[in-house]
């Protein structure tokens, strides 16, 4: 009788489990407007402050916002960084990567930890992309907050808007615009570390 009861319970549990939907591992649907996509991205940036080449749990959060090309560049940069460490196995030297202390979506050093953001405007470009301009703020205790600006390059890919690159806009501290993709490629030949030739 006990064996028959176990078989019945097991059969019932299996039938119930088969009827249950499989848990989705994909992220929820991203916003369908360029400015809303960037706003959603920067909520994560302010909450998480990703620094350097984004990996692990942070990459799980940020990858759905990024184009295939930018994700490929990030993967190559991570491999290039690993190649630097392979080439310098016993050094105490600090790597000279341009991305080492870079807040990938915000800027270098203190700019890597923005405390707030504001979408200022969205500009349509002739190639079909959009530049979404973001004002970032960093607040320090007892000091006046300071601000700087970036522009997310948003375009369509596979029917959805994604961030394809980022421009750190020139200001009093930065003499010219700098592109994230260029910083991630500096010193690398694909996934190989070759050093800075023109510095």
The closest of 99, 168, 113 to 146, measured between CA atoms, is: 113
The answer on pLDDT for 19 being more than 60 is no
pLDDT confidence of residue 125:
96
Least confident of 40-44, 94-98, 134-138, 142-146: 142-146
pLDDT (0 to 100) of residue 175:
76
Decide: residue 14, CB within 10 A, 0-12 exposed, 13-18 middle, 19+ buried. exposed
Would you say residue 97 has pLDDT above 60? yes
CA angle 26, 63, 159 (to 5 degrees): 70
Rounded to an integer, what distance in angstroms lies between the CA atom of residue 93 and that of residue 80? 17
| Range 8-13 average pLDDT | 41
pLDDT band of 91, cuts 50, 70, 90: confident
Residue-level pLDDT at 108: 87
CATH of domain 31-88+96-193: 3.10.450.50
**Per-residue tokens: 182:** 């260029």
CA distance 147 to 73: 28
Residue 196: predicted pLDDT: 80
For 150-168, the pLDDT digits (tens) are 999 999 999 999 999 999 9
CA distance 155 to 56: 25
Q: Is residue 98 over pLDDT 90?
A: no
Q: Where does the pLDDT of residue 7 fall: very low under 50, low under 70, confident under 90, or very high at 90 and above?
A: very low
pLDDT over 80 at 142, yes or no: no
């Amino acid at each position: 009788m006990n064996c028959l009861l176990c078989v019945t319970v097991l059969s019932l549990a299996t039938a119930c489990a088969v009827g249950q939907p499989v848990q989705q591992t994909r992220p929820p649907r991203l916003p369908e407007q360029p400015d809303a996509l960037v706003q959603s991205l920067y909520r994560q940036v302010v909450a998480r402050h990703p620094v350097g080449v984004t990996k692990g749990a942070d990459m799980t959060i940020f990858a759905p916002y990024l184009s295939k090309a930018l994700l490929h560049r990030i993967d190559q940069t991570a491999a290039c960084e690993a190649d630097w460490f392979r080439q310098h196995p016993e050094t105490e030297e600090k790597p000279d990567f341009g991305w080492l202390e870079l807040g990938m979506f915000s800027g270098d050093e203190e700019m890597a930890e923005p405390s707030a953001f504001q979408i200022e405007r969205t500009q349509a470009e002739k190639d079909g992309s959009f530049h979404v301009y973001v004002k970032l703020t960093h607040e320090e205790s007892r000091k006046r907050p300071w601000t700087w600006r970036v522009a997310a390059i948003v375009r369509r890919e596979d029917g959805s808007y994604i961030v394809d690159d980022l421009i750190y806009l020139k200001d009093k501290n930065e003499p010219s615009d700098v592109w994230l993709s260029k910083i991630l490629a500096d010193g690398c030949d694909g996934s190989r570390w070759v050093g800075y030739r023109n510095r």
